[in-house]
Amino acid sequence: MAFYLTRDENQKMTIDIDHLTEEELVELNHRIVERLKFLESMNTHHEMMQFKPGEQVSFEPPGRGRQIGTLVKYNKKTVTIITESGQKWNVSPQLLSKVKNKKSKGKVGDKVIDFPIKK
Ordered structural domains, the chain, with CATH: 21-109 (2.30.30.140)
Q: Evaluate if residue 8 carries a pLDDT over 80.
A: no
Q: What is the mean predicted confidence (pLDDT) over 80-105?
A: 85
Q: Can you tell me the distance from the alpha carbon of 37 to that of 14, in angstroms, rounded to the nearest whole number? A: 22
Question: What pLDDT sits at residue 2?
Answer: 62
**Going by DSSP bridges, is the β-strand pair 97-98/5-7 parallel, antiparallel, or unpaired?**
unpaired
Q: Can you tell me the distance from the alpha carbon of 11 to that of 41, in angstroms, rounded to the nearest whole number? A: 27
Residue 11 banded pLDDT, cuts 50, 70, 90: confident
pTM of this structure: 0.62
- When the pLDDT of each residue in the chain is averaged and rounded to a whole number, the result is 84
